[in-house]
Chains A and B, each alone.
Chain A
Amino acid sequence: MAALIEIDRVSGTLRGADAGRAGLPLLAPEAWHGQADAGLRLPGDAEPEARFAEAPLIAIEFPAFHDGRGLSLAVLLRTRFGFTGELRAIGDVRPDLLHYLVRCGFDTFELAEGVSIDLADPRLVPHLQYYQASVRDPEPAFRRVARGRAA
């Protein structure tokens, strides 16, 4: 079983996730009809639908860690379809890319088979702040912080 990690939505820190949650069954969109005890499993190129917002869990699959389609899908689910449930990244999920996933609105991460992570490693957090708006920080830096001015 691959490690499941979650992010604390308030503090932004990563920690091991509750093992029970990992067991929720995942269904393809055509098999999911609003069940509260099953999550959805979407490929990165899926077209999001309004009814998905009711799912307790949506898992987006990354066929390769460098395939960014799942990032856009996550952003759409969060910002356009108002999905507030658990958004999980599955498939080829690597520790060094978690910061992208976090900013696109994922909150749990099932790491790729055989990949381990030291959650205490400060090196996993590359930056304290970013320039652009994201799902996590809806305001870009120019609205959020006082930037410098030309002398």
Chain B
Amino acid sequence: MLRCDPRNPGTPMYRYDSFDRQFIAERVRHYRAQTERYLAGELSEDEFRHLRLRNGLYVQRLAPMLRVAVPYGTLSSTQLRTLAHIARDYDRGYGHLSTRQNMQFNWPELAEVPDILEALAEVEMHAIQTSGNCIRNVTTDEFSGVAADETLDPRPYCEIIRQWSTSHPEFDWLPRKFKIAVTGAAEDRAAIDVHDIGLRVYRDAAGERLVDFIVGGGLGRTPVIGETIRTGLPMAHLLTYLEAVMRVYNRYGRRDNKYKARIKILVRALTAEGFRAKVDEEWALVRDSASVLTVAEIERVEGYFVPPAWPSVPDATATLAEQRLANPAFGRWVANNVMAHRQPGYAAVVLSTKVTGIPPGDVSDRQMQAVADWADRYGFGEIRISHQQNFVLPDVPQAALFELWQAACREGLGESNVGLLTNIICCPGGDYCSLANAKSIPVAEAIQQRFDDYDYLHDLGPIDLNISGCMNACGHHHVGTIGILGVDKKGEEFYQISIGGHAGHAGQTASIGAIIGPSVSRDEVPDVIGRILDTYVALRAPGETFLATCRRIGTEPFKERIYGRAD
């Protein structure tokens, strides 16, 4: 059933041309020289720090960490095999899927990083601008191009932004990091309301490509829902309008305090109206520049993302129904992890990394290899990484689902918990990260251990439980329906718990969670979660989701039941 050449010529994704190849090769050579100069003492620690960050290299608690860019979360099977090879040969046999759809390696040697970057360049990959105060990897809907509710495929515009933002002369030394997310579907699976810039791309009734700009959202220390400052902008102006927004931010964003340096603080200080006025004034002066996108350029990039010629497959609904009936575990997996596809007979599949005892998002070289093989065998050689830190196979024939599920179970990727409490988003936390105040991985594990009964998880329905080890909020705790934040209290790890947050998917509006009371010790976390869930079960209206209950009754009833009344 192998439908793809392992080198995947037919996979619908962006391919480097000679321009991209030359640029990436030059970048690797340049960074290799910088590393050599640093190791020879010719480049200062501070200068090299900024340069290595722009090439994805952090120095972490235990070792350097290399964050490889997976542009808008899209990988070919060949690229994933290369990541497996890097995990095996340069790391300790595993990698970590990040909430920005990237892959991180926790144990590379600083001196070997140029070799890793060279191996990546061979398969059209890089680690450019995955850290540092610059425009980061653009993220998008993990079901782009296959989702049934999509109006315009966002990937071409993500790629156009990737190229425009790469080593930008003016915007590579910003006040703070800068994150852009793009969606093109009815349901926002890219959390565009909580990004520095969120873009909604679509076509109007006349077929013209348009884009809406949402600016100043974000998580971190000061969670904010973004403000829409422009709607219905013709796509030709995508880059000129971005340029105007970035110039206003680069010039006026605060640089005196890193905790007040994100664009959301500037938007708040100027008000959305004031910020929009400044951007529009700037845009009026750049809107006719050579950066206006040509139809030819838009269509050139769109050309890479034309869907594969999905061969028509026999309708497998009846067989699938039988398989689900005969095997309830498979039925559960189909219900939770298999998503609607625009092509009849096909499905998009989420392979969950959220297995009790494994840090959320961690995947072994063997698992990467297996996923790459499945992408070739069952799909079109393509894999996605979701911001929930799972793998996605975007086009699997329904008839192959049972076989894929069995294989996934053998490789530890068959967990059926997508959308459920145990599909935890979790940052690496204090086990790895030097910024963290507290560990997050053991908290995730304790929760997964406590709540392991699928009947109960199902009864609870959709819940996003997100854990961050510090205020930087890499684990998106603010937008978890249950959010857990690690805090430091006099040198001890404590956890602050919030409820009612949401990232804006499943047709809901985005919201920031509300803290329900004093922080608790790590041992207490599973009990507190248990009491939150008991409160929900006791007070929910028939058919009401956890989020809906939170929004209806507020936090007071939860506080009372968890912390008790003052009497």
Contact = CB atoms under 8 A, between A and B. Distances in A.
B402 interface: no
Nearest to B17: A148
A138 B290 CA distance: 7
B15 interface: yes
A151 B15 CA distance: 9
A100 B9 contact: no
A80 B284 CA distance: 12
Nearest to A130: B167
B343 to A, nearest CB: 20
A25 interface: no
B455 interface: no
Given A126-B30, A149-B300, A149-B303, A71 B166 contact: no
A70 B20 CA distance: 28
A148 B169 contact: no
Interface in A128-151: 128-136, 138-143, 145, 147-151
Contacts of A141: 19, 163
Contact of A123 (B20, B23, B30): B30
A96 B19 contact: no
B22 A145 contact: no
A151 B9 contact: yes
A142 B306 CA distance: 20
Nearest to B30: A126
A101 to B, nearest CB: 8
Interface stretch (A12-20, A32-40, A49-57, A61-69): A61-69
A75 interface: yes
Nearest to A94: B47
Interface in A56-104: 65-69, 71-73, 75, 80, 94, 96-97, 99-100, 103-104
Given A127-B23, A131-B164, A145-B19, A45 B290 contact: no
Nearest to A63: B255
Contacts of B170: 68, 71-72, 75, 100, 104, 134
B250 A69 contact: yes
B46 to A, nearest CB: 9
A148 to B, nearest CB: 3
Contacts of B247: 72, 75
B17 A71 contact: no
B304 A150 contact: yes
Contacts of A67: 173, 255
B22 A128 contact: yes
A147 B294 CA distance: 13
Nearest to B293: A142
A72 B170 CA distance: 6
Contacts, number: 120
Contact of A143 (B15, B174, B294): B294
Interface residues of B, number: 48
B18 A148 contact: yes
Given A67-B255, A127-B167, A134-B169, A72 B15 contact: no
Given A96-B51, A128-B22, A133 B290 contact: yes
A81 B498 CA distance: 51
B409 interface: no
Best-surrounded residue of B22, B43, B290 (most CB of chain A within 10 A): B290
B532 to A, nearest CB: 43
Contact of B172 (A100, A129, A147): A100
Contacts of B285: 80
Contacts of B270: none
A123 to B, nearest CB: 4
Contacts of B459: none
Nearest to B169: A103
Contacts of A100: 169-170, 172-173
B387 interface: no
Nearest to B32: A123
Nearest to A69: B251
A66 B133 contact: yes
B452 interface: no
A134 B293 CA distance: 15
A74 to B, nearest CB: 8
Given A72-B170, A96-B43, A140-B291, A131 B163 contact: yes
A119 to B, nearest CB: 15
B83 to A, nearest CB: 24
B44 to A, nearest CB: 9
B435 interface: no
B33 interface: yes
Contacts of B22: 128-129
Contacts of B23: 127, 129-131
A100 B30 CA distance: 14
A72 B30 contact: no
A131 B26 CA distance: 13
Interface string B13-35: 00111111011001101100110
Contacts of A135: 169
B290 A66 contact: no
B221 interface: no
Nearest to A131: B163
Contact of B26 (A75, A94, A127, A147): A127
Given A68-B174, A131-B163, A147 B17 contact: yes
B289 interface: yes
Interface in B246-290: 247, 250-251, 255, 285, 289-290
A147 B296 CA distance: 11
Contact of B27 (A45, A73, A126): A126
A139 B290 contact: yes
B27 A140 contact: no
Nearest to B298: A142
A126 B170 CA distance: 16
B134 to A, nearest CB: 9
B171 interface: yes
Contact of B166 (A73, A131, A148): A131
Best-surrounded residue of A94, A127, A136 (most CB of chain B within 10 A): A127
Contacts of B166: 131
21 contacts: A45-B251, A68-B170, A68-B174, A71-B170, A72-B250, A73-B251, A100-B172, A123-B33, A129-B23, A130-B23, A133-B290, A133-B291, A134-B169, A141-B163, A142-B293, A147-B19, A148-B15, A148-B19, A148-B20, A150-B303, A150-B306
Interface of A: 45, 65-69, 71-73, 75, 80, 94, 96-97, 99-100, 103-104, 123, 126-136, 138-143, 145, 147-151
A-B residue pairs, 6 tightest by C-beta: A148-B17, A68-B173, A103-B169, A150-B303, A126-B30, A123-B33
